[in-house]
Each structure stands twice: as C-alpha cells, then as structure tokens.
Amino acid sequence: MATVGGSQDPMASAERRAATARARSAQETRSAERQEALAEQAVSEVRRDTHLRMAAVHRSTASCHRSAARLHESYAARLAGWAGATSTPRPLFMTGVAAACGTRSAALTLVGATFDQLSLAASDEPSRAAQELEFLLGEGPARDATRQVRAVTATGSGMTDRWPGYGPAVSELGIEEVTAVPLSMEGTCVGALTVFDAASRVTGSQTFAEVAEVLTRTMILNPAGDPELYGGTDLRALVHQAAGMVSVQLDCSVSDALELIKARAFTEGVSAHAVAERIVRGELRLA
C-alpha cells in the first residue's frame, strides 16, 4: 500500500485540497461572469461569441473544481467519523468516487505507454477482484476504454459475448453491468474509471465521464494532486519486478514472464501481487 501522498494527516490534506478546490471554483466563476459581462458589451458578433466561449470554459473548470471539492469534503467527513475506530480499516477515497457514480463498486486503473496496468485503486472487494481478473486475463472494460479512448458498457450476457474470459468470471462475482470511461486529457489517456452495477436511473456514462475528468484534472495529472488517492492505490511495481526476475531465470521476454505470473495467479485463485511476492522472496520459481 502506498503512502498517503506524502502526508501523515490525510484528513488535513483532504480538507486543504477541498478548500483549494472551492477557492479555484470561485475564481473561475468570477472569470466566467466577467467574460459574460464583456459579451453583453461587445459591439460585434465575433467578439461576443469569443467572450461566451471563454466564459463556457471558465464555467466548466469551475464545475470541475466544485466536484473535486465535494469528493475531498466527503473523504474528510468519513475520516472524521472513522477517527479512533481501530477495529475498522481507514476509509478509502474511492468509496466517495463510487458514491458519486451511484454505486458501491468502482475502480480506477492507471496504465503506462504500452497500456500495461501500473496501479489500481478500488472502492470495495468486488471492484478490486474484478480489476484483478481484467489484469490476469488481459481483457475487459478498462482495457478497451484506454485503447479506444471511449466509454465502454456491457450488461448481462453481453459481458460474456464481448469478453469470453472476463465476462463469465466477473459474473461469478455477482456483477451484472460494467461501464468504463477513459481518464484522458489533451489527447493523453492515462487509464480508466470502471463502474460496476450503478443505479442507471440516476447516473450514466456522462456522469462517469465527468467524475473521470475531475480525477484526471485535479488528482492524477495535476502537479498539486495525489495520483495515489490518499494511499488507496496499489502499485504493480512488485509484479513487474518479479516478471524481470522470471525473465532472467527462464531466458524469456519480460512480457512472456508477466503472462506466466498472471497464469499462475489465475490458476491458484490469488492476486498477481501475491504470486510476485513469493517469487521476489525466492519461495516460488516458475518452470
């Protein structure tokens, strides 16, 4: 488990980020109002349209920061309620992300230049298990969303039709519907937000895309953000380290070694991380 974004006090960090986001939202709203006032005073249609377009950009940015503030405030409130409760795990930031998407189960996956999974953050065990299956089987909604840079949705038997391995396996977890939206900004896709069994009457792919944009712009690609989501992100670094070791031991490519680790994990019904730990400790050698 990663550290909490370098902070020893996640509640203070969440409150600080919430306050910053609120201030940024207010600033962008004022900028939008100024542009709208200039549009009313414009003497030409061209200048009027220019000011209105700029106002729309400021309004969109203000909305993004307001949403970010709500996520941080929600997390800080859950931390305050949890404080001192040593019998339960610390709340996860992704729990609030899932709630914003109208569900209990959501996962965020970050990928590298070759679309390999670099890290995973999940709101609960079903979403974590579903993303682990996608990593092991090499198919699924987040994988498609990152490669195609578009929203991907499947329901019921449609999951099996689209993903012959992942579909039946994720159905066994009790999941009936999945939607993944890319985490992208300025043409760069860095991962995907996957939502499981959302309340479709109150949310949809547009809502998920808006939440994904908030995460991308304010947490993942923002220098002042926290891509580790307050320590709720599990890195795949150990898995890739183990793949390098297996590659040397078996004289094969790293990609082939990684597939061997995934296959072993799937066969044993454990995570790739668990297999990697045994390899790195010298307790397991793949033949």
pLDDT in tens, 224-236: 889 899 999 888 8
Domains of the chain, residue spans? 10-82, 93-235, 237-280
Strand segments, DSSP code E, in the chain are 105-111, 117-122, 152-155, 177-185, 188-196, 233-235
Q: What is the mean pLDDT of residues 194-214?
A: 84
| Residue percentage of the chain with pLDDT more than 70 | 94
Distance CA 195, CA 259 (A): 26
Is pLDDT at 103 greater than 80 in this prediction?
yes
Q: Give me the pLDDT at residue 283, please.
A: 92
* Strand, coil or helix: 80: helix
Is pLDDT at 196 greater than 90 in this prediction?
yes
Q: Which CATH class is domain 93-235?
A: alpha beta
Which pTM was predicted?
Answer: 0.86
CB 219 within 8 A of CB 229: yes
User: 48-102, pLDDT tens digit by residue?
Assistant: 999 999 999 999 999 999 999 999 999 999 999 887 676 788 899 999 999 999 9
* pLDDT band per the 50, 70, 90 thresholds, residue 205: confident
Instruction: Work out the mean pLDDT of the chain and round it to a whole number.
Output: 90
Q: What is the mean pLDDT of residues 204-211?
A: 87
Single out the residue of 107, 130, 104, 134 nearest to residue 120, CA to CA.
Answer: 107
* pLDDT band per the 50, 70, 90 thresholds, residue 118: confident
Enumerate residues 6+ apart whose C-beta is below 8 A from 199: 102, 103
Is pLDDT at 125 greater than 90 in this prediction?
yes
Q: Give me the pLDDT at residue 7, please.
A: 45
* Torsion from C-alpha of 18, 67, 235, 112, nearest 10 degrees: -130
Q: Give me the pLDDT at residue 5, please.
A: 43
